[in-house]
Structure 1
């Protein structure tokens, strides 16, 4: 299908205002039925509002592919529903942006038309049951058959399983000898074509995120060769560009979620009376609220910084430290904010109908998918250690004060960061080191944001909290012991014998 004639899109401020008004109407009833079926209907209703036009090029009838507008859409959505924002984020970062950057022009027109006019949705299939984050060893394969490619394998934990109309499927080419090549290929499948349908073998009973179906999928399809994404260099680099861009955009989903938790927490604490005092007036409560507010500031800074880094004309494949720091830290902050809100809300915060209770369940998997946070922190730390070796220094501050993504943040924490890093560091220390670096990256962004006119009080308070967290993590690294689990605890371990 050819391109669609399109007038200039309306200003984004008007577009997002209309969208927010529609969301308020949809979510005005706070006792929405929590069943998967009912929430799936809500997703279809929202997609019908054409929010995904935000990531369709103007020549095909959309608004373009502005990362800033995508961030704004995700934030506006997550204020009302984190699962809904994730569903849109999957479509944007894992389907529409890869399609726009790497797709063949021959296939784009029909796909964009179906997204705009028929409410189509798309997702990405990489993860396999036996390999998880070890994507380089995936066993799903493709073979060339004339003008088509045969693709076979098993995938699982794909968001929008059984609901997406299109999939981008990762596989490895199998040569004539049956050997799987190391590089990764991506193909677009169309569920409306019989020989391209992915079979759902099982739906998972996932905890939280009820709006989004997950499951195990059997891929046994044949797709035209022009539906292969075209890498600029290698498929591996294309995959890292896609995944890093997606991780860089997590603050869009986190922004509205954390802002809603902050708003609700402050409102509750100001109206809840304990004895003669408001909950808001207690020192520990002020500390809890200030940490949520700090998360709001960090997320704001990431949104500003990453909206520039994640435009599709940028190569995100080499942005490992920024992308991994963003995803790991922001998703940790989401979970911590939800836990803090539940604690402040008392017993009612542990109801699934309450923002805190639902937020705990919905934000928890964010720390696992697209790379478990402990793995990402380890990768961040390993990258920094390699750079320490390259620059022939062991002092962490010396290196971080010279890197563009950490130099301004590092200036605030010279005392905390001035310590040597051993080459033979244990994994548990690597994780803490990664957490430190991610916080320095976030501080760098906060300083940049403050320098452009952002609220100085919010920025300074945020930097104080980051300093405290870095100090705690630094002390943790210095005091780590090599305690290991005892596999046999039978002897002299029954407390009843000693009571």
Structure 2
């Protein structure tokens, strides 16, 4: 019988606390690359990744609520640990459960449960980052399976994962590759499938996770090709969108930790005989992190209802991009505020908030930079508005299923005609407005079920402030352009 999840997650949280605060010091561990073997073993013996393995293979059932619970519990203590789990869950175990050949699923899942195995996903290439559809890693069919060649970089768990899902395009002619993308599982324990690490990167943060450049020249059997349900591109979108829809799990615990640390420090630290928390500007900043906590809560609740492997989320770009971009922006902002409120003590790499600034920063870049995702959100909505021949932003948002509940709260700031032509800096701003409304509606849906209304009301105040500023930026945008050859005539010393 499967252990009750509340009991399971409480045991996991207790073990993490013991490992990071009693048996060792997470603030010291975080300064070193990787984690000591005894700490990794202590974490993995709890079988945290079982949450992403179907029950028929000995797992807990791949329920999104449990996956997000594990991610949140881990990010409260160590954001890199949560990302390690996120890579395994969203980029390997869930794709394998949904698209893997039944012949390989059981033995691979077995190794995760019994041998503490790990897995990741390889898409990004040195010359093709976000431009994944033009990747040059190729494959051709052989008598026994497939031969795959290429290079991949910036894969989390480089040299550490036992299994990889590798994206490649079919070689049609010598220098011509098919448009569609296929995915293959590789097993590093087999010599003919081992992916070679050329070198490791000195990543700025997330020390726990190795990144690097990989050379792929492997042979895999036929049954290690993931099975398409339609096209490979749709499979890739389904995988990436599901991963983005689970970012709130990583953000949730991290933001809560920033909130708890900031509240603890400002209520205990006294200036002029009074705690910092009575100062008006401090209260504003605390409420700002609390609004982030509220939004992340709504995202987690909504994601739990619609991002499981039973669903096809290839077409859920607007929701996936809104959650990923907004929650990662909120993570970075929360860390910045926590450092500011912590004073000089926060400006240390071994302080949870100082480290949090560096560790949360790449979340705004990987799996699609936030500027790109906000642009895509705008493009989706503008296209739909044109299709329905609606030009008034408020009118459309009041009808749109993902914003209709909350759009009326912001009518004053949204009641404008959308420009016929938007430059990209405007589409980014528009995407930020839409993402806030989409995610605020998730909280509104939770309030109906009993979520604290005072948290929601405060969150509305912050979103109103954000949307007011963003709508002004949209209508009166800064059109400054860089001057490339700026040096001539700009040396200050010449003008003394």
- The answer, yes or no, to whether TM exceeds 0.5 is yes
Match of 1:271 in 2: 268
Match of 2:482 in 1: 485
Matches within 5 A, 1:92-131: 92-131=89-128
Q: Go from structure 1 to structure 2 and tell me whether the alpha carbon gap of 1:74 and 1:488 turns closer, same or farther (over 3 Å shift).
A: same
Match of 1:9 in 2: 2
TM-score by length of 2: 0.97
Which of 361, 367, 371 is 2:368 aligned to? 371
> How far 1:488 sits from its partner (Å)?
2.6
Match of 1:146 in 2: 143
Matches within 5 A, 1:96-245: 96-176=93-173, 178-245=175-242
Match of 1:387 in 2: 384
> How far 1:42 sits from its partner (Å)?
3.2
**Native 8 Å contact 1:159 1:213 kept in 2:** yes
Which of 7, 20, 26 is 2:19 aligned to? 26
SS of equivalent to 2:219: strand
SS of equivalent to 1:401: helix
**Native 8 Å contact 2:34 2:210 kept in 1:** no
> How far 1:49 sits from its partner (Å)?
1.9
**Does residue 38 of the first structure (1) align with residue 35 of the second (2)?**
yes
Match of 2:470 in 1: 473
Matches within 5 A, 1:313-462: 313-462=310-459
Work out the CA distance in 1 between the residues paired with 2:478 and 2:121: 41
Match of 1:4 in 2: none
Work out the CA distance in 1 between the residues paired with 2:461 and 2:339: 24
**Native 8 Å contact 2:321 2:377 kept in 1:** yes
SS of equivalent to 1:36: coil
Q: Go from structure 1 to structure 2 and tell me whether the alpha carbon gap of 1:250 and 1:41 turns closer, same or farther (over 3 Å shift).
A: farther
Match of 1:290 in 2: 287
Work out the CA distance in 1 between the residues paired with 2:6 and 2:116: 23
Work out the CA distance in 1 between the residues paired with 2:480 and 2:136: 37
> How far 1:491 sits from its partner (Å)?
4.2
Q: Go from structure 1 to structure 2 and tell me whether the alpha carbon gap of 1:76 and 1:37 turns closer, same or farther (over 3 Å shift).
A: closer
Work out the CA distance in 2 between the residues paired with 1:39 and 1:449: 41
Work out the CA distance in 2 between the residues paired with 1:176 and 1:275: 76
Work out the CA distance in 1 between the residues paired with 2:391 and 2:235: 33
Q: Go from structure 1 to structure 2 and tell me whether the alpha carbon gap of 1:40 and 1:320 turns closer, same or farther (over 3 Å shift).
A: farther
**Does residue 251 of the first structure (1) align with residue 251 of the second (2)?**
no
Match of 1:5 in 2: none
**Native 8 Å contact 1:342 1:357 kept in 2:** yes
Work out the CA distance in 2 between the residues paired with 1:275 and 1:498: 46
Work out the CA distance in 2 between the residues paired with 1:451 and 1:415: 25
Work out the CA distance in 2 between the residues paired with 1:378 and 1:133: 13
**Native 8 Å contact 2:244 2:324 kept in 1:** yes
Work out the CA distance in 2 between the residues paired with 1:427 and 1:31: 41
**Native 8 Å contact 1:240 1:317 kept in 2:** yes
Work out the CA distance in 2 between the residues paired with 1:71 and 1:162: 26
Work out the CA distance in 1 between the residues paired with 2:195 and 2:8: 35
Structure 1, unmatched stretches of 5+, are 1-7
SS of equivalent to 1:209: coil
**Native 8 Å contact 1:378 1:431 kept in 2:** yes
Q: Go from structure 1 to structure 2 and tell me whether the alpha carbon gap of 1:39 and 1:493 turns closer, same or farther (over 3 Å shift).
A: farther
> Where has structure 1 moved over 3 Å in runs of 4 or more?
37-45
**Does residue 498 of the first structure (1) align with residue 495 of the second (2)?**
yes
Work out the CA distance in 2 between the residues paired with 1:429 and 1:25: 48
Work out the CA distance in 2 between the residues paired with 1:288 and 1:145: 60
Alignment root-mean-square deviation, CA: 1.2
**Native 8 Å contact 1:95 1:124 kept in 2:** yes
**Native 8 Å contact 2:188 2:195 kept in 1:** yes
> How far 1:231 sits from its partner (Å)?
1.3
**Native 8 Å contact 2:27 2:351 kept in 1:** no
Match of 1:68 in 2: 65
Cα-to-partner distance string for 1:416-439 (whole Å, 9 max, x where unaligned): 111111231111111101100000
Which of 50, 54, 59 is 1:57 aligned to? 54
Match of 1:302 in 2: 299
Q: Go from structure 1 to structure 2 and tell me whether the alpha carbon gap of 1:361 and 1:40 turns closer, same or farther (over 3 Å shift).
A: farther
> How far 1:31 sits from its partner (Å)?
3.8
SS of equivalent to 2:310: coil
Work out the CA distance in 1 between the residues paired with 2:364 and 2:56: 37
SS of equivalent to 1:124: strand
Work out the CA distance in 2 between the residues paired with 1:396 and 1:31: 47
Q: Go from structure 1 to structure 2 and tell me whether the alpha carbon gap of 1:177 and 1:312 turns closer, same or farther (over 3 Å shift).
A: same
**Native 8 Å contact 2:188 2:194 kept in 1:** yes
Q: Does 141-150 or 291-300 show the bigger shift?
A: 141-150
Work out the CA distance in 1 between the residues paired with 2:413 and 2:41: 49
